[in-house]
Structure 1
């Protein structure tokens, strides 16, 4: 039986969407793929992400691993510091892809990784990127098609498959699956909000190490280098008492940058370290992003001829260390299962969920107590945490790291879980 020429719509051009388009084109060369992006051009900004565990061999099969190496951030490890800048614990890169450290062997800016996947797919004849466009309606039809309406330029059309790859706050998810049984958009809140931005590099204080600094009241500075001569900053506020975030949660939904930044400025008052610099540069930064740190938890990611992939379906959160990896693994499995059952889309999507969930269940396992354990509320808690990290940074603790890797994919080998072999690029 010949393979039908499937018409596939992917909403989202970050990491999961282009990666999925790449593998669909390889596995189903007769299909037509449209990738939507709500922004007017490719969104190539963002903070550091990385490749870990199962995603590494998948990107290698794409022939893109060398391009990733060329774009790494140049970060050589992570240091935990006190307010005076004194280093208390150093975790250098391991040099071993099978047992990665806190800094990955493939640490790369989100925009650079998305750009690599976009570059590998944008000129393929059966892949079309459409920018400045969003989906406004998705309706399953009796003819096994999905009717989709759009806001701007595209006419209403029918597709064989619709994929939501549009991030943690997925519009596709809301249109097809609603807001969840608890009206929480399927978000499992982890008690942390973060502001992320880029600022000028200061050679006097910025090194090739990432610098992690904790202040009481669950406040975190994370400052990281890149290969472009700038510094990336992550300001996090953590608390198990979610009522602390009532104001910023409202400001997040309203989208007022100035009011959001005023909230962070107030929260970080008297925090020490590089507070004044970071707050000052945050207000001036051309690249500012603020988000709630959460996981997406759903009983199912598929419905009829519609499926979700990446953060839209199973965001493990940035603190998992494998958000991008989960997106890459999921995209590969989804394309592979569609290629195995192109005549029965619902079965293919069900198989995608069954297979990929084996990895996702591992990816969503956080270190017990995270993120509160790593962001203490008291000065005593900060002191204890720093002492623990000092012990963990000693060479004898590397053995513990290998044990941890068996449980947490971020520190595990490329064989912590292996997908089916659907073929190679």
Structure 2
């Protein structure tokens, strides 16, 4: 009997797994039956820029979507650090810059998360002529029960009970699959907040305000940073606001943590950021906050890592950020999600009648890459997001020195997360058909 597989989440890891499962070398009469459930009514457009590096580029080729992804990049040319009056005082080129190669803050493949999710979703639908993947939008699971070889789930909105051979939680940092299968009491043990919170949204492009092909970054006292980034695909700009949850101004990390919980309202999140950044001092501050209030693609989240000793429990397995979020500071989240999807599909095809062995093989293949990506420089956030004006001056001076001497290139070269394409294991996946939008 072919495996029946339920994937929870339609962002990056979920549709990537649905695609790789169709390409994996299962016997013709043993091709898995795939269902994907997504809480939102459609593929969500929200989410910040994501990077695809090293081994991730090879995975795009394995899916046949490299051209579509490269044609959908944000067009970011590099990073400019700006002063309060919006003057550029330091600049660093993109990963395509032959002098810096790919070891710098801007990846050679930089794409909005929503656009990447859309491409992966469409890829999963046009690999075969038949309707190989069932998508269930606007619903979610509120119960998971399992025995030795089956998992029974309950769909909250439809009220339907369904049984699967395997449930894959690909539902992100605040995974409800993880909390239901492992228990909510375990969440504090596996989710490790890094003390930072981030908001992302799009806004109209305005060249008269300095919007260009570079990411403009401004940091100020109180451990706050603001960035405006290009989105050439949509002719817009995107804003990223980051802040440490505690400060001398009496800022409370608990308030930020509550705002990042799943049930928090967008209005309350915007209000918190409005008050937090009102006195940031950048010439662009009032514009950014005004556009934040008007935008409909606002996204707010805590920055955290997920660290677990085992990513599966019985017939429930976690994938992507739900299993091993490395945080956006690593620049490797999307690459790791696709690598996990590729490895899980390959392991299941190699052991279709022994799910436990397949899940163990999947973890063995991916965990070394995760361990490497999760190694962040100690104190990096507090160093680059100082509390005082004196600290801001010191950081600015240090950045100028590192860029001028090109020491920054060496630091990025040895930062650790990049994984080379030749490390990709072979599972005998079929060649994908041409991608259709």
Give the TM-score of the pair, scaled to structure 1: 0.92
How many residues in Structure 1 have an aligned counterpart in Structure 2? Answer: 415
Q: 1:303 maps to what in 2?
A: 313
Between the aligned partners of 2:413 and 2:245, the Cα distance in structure 1 is: 27
Q: 2:42 maps to what in 1?
A: 41
Between the aligned partners of 1:282 and 1:112, the Cα distance in structure 2 is: 20
Q: 1:25 maps to what in 2?
A: 22
> Please, which of 217, 220, 227 is the counterpart of residue 222 of structure 1?
227
Is the 8 Å Cα contact of residues 355 and 419 (structure 1) preserved in structure 2?
no
Between the aligned partners of 1:373 and 1:179, the Cα distance in structure 2 is: 33
Between the aligned partners of 1:399 and 1:122, the Cα distance in structure 2 is: 41
Between the aligned partners of 2:193 and 2:48, the Cα distance in structure 1 is: 21
CA 1:45–1:268: 2 relative to 1, 3 Å? closer
> Is residue 251 from structure 1 mapped to residue 254 from structure 2 by the alignment?
no
- Structure 1 residues 47-73: Cα deviation after superposition (integer angstroms, max 9, x where no partner): 211201221111112111111110000
Cα deviation for residue 94 of structure 1 reads 2.8
- Structure 1 residues 123-179: Cα deviation after superposition (integer angstroms, max 9, x where no partner): 44221111111112111124x111112112373122111100011111100110112
Cα deviation for residue 397 of structure 1 reads 2.7
> Please, which of 173, 176, 185 is the counterpart of residue 178 of structure 2?
173
Between the aligned partners of 2:110 and 2:259, the Cα distance in structure 1 is: 31
Q: 2:72 maps to what in 1?
A: 71
SS in 2 for 1:394: helix
Greater shift, 158-167 or 386-395, is seen at 386-395
Between the aligned partners of 2:285 and 2:251, the Cα distance in structure 1 is: 24
> Is residue 209 from structure 1 mapped to residue 210 from structure 2 by the alignment?
no
Q: 2:434 maps to what in 1?
A: none
Is the 8 Å Cα contact of residues 148 and 158 (structure 1) preserved in structure 2?
yes
> Please, which of 180, 196, 199 is the counterpart of residue 200 of structure 2?
196
> Is residue 52 from structure 1 mapped to residue 61 from structure 2 by the alignment?
no
Q: 1:338 maps to what in 2?
A: 348
Between the aligned partners of 2:101 and 2:313, the Cα distance in structure 1 is: 36
Once the two structures are superposed, the pairs formed by residues 11-410 of structure 1 within 5 Å of their partners are 11-27=8-24, 28=26, 30-95=31-96, 99-123=102-126, 124=128, 125-142=131-148, 144-153=149-158, 155-181=160-186, 183-184=187-188, 186-204=190-208, 205-227=210-232, 228-239=234-245, 244-253=252-261, 254-273=263-282, 274-394=284-404, 396-397=406-407, 400-401=410-411, 404-409=412-417
SS in 2 for 1:190: strand
SS in 1 for 2:11: coil
Between the aligned partners of 2:286 and 2:182, the Cα distance in structure 1 is: 43
CA 1:154–1:179: 2 relative to 1, 3 Å? closer
SS in 1 for 2:348: helix
- Structure 1 residues 212-236: Cα deviation after superposition (integer angstroms, max 9, x where no partner): 1101010100110101121111111
SS in 2 for 1:300: coil
Is the 8 Å Cα contact of residues 230 and 238 (structure 2) preserved in structure 1?
yes
Between the aligned partners of 1:109 and 1:309, the Cα distance in structure 2 is: 20
Cα deviation for residue 180 of structure 1 reads 4.6
Is the 8 Å Cα contact of residues 42 and 138 (structure 2) preserved in structure 1?
yes
Between the aligned partners of 2:45 and 2:333, the Cα distance in structure 1 is: 17
SS in 2 for 1:383: helix
Between the aligned partners of 1:116 and 1:59, the Cα distance in structure 2 is: 11
Structure 1, unpaired ranges of 5+: none
- Structure 1 residues 11-37: Cα deviation after superposition (integer angstroms, max 9, x where no partner): 001000000111111113611100111
Structure 2, unpaired ranges of 5+: 432-437
Between the aligned partners of 1:152 and 1:252, the Cα distance in structure 2 is: 24
Give the TM-score of the pair, scaled to structure 2: 0.90
Greater shift, 368-377 or 216-225, is seen at 368-377
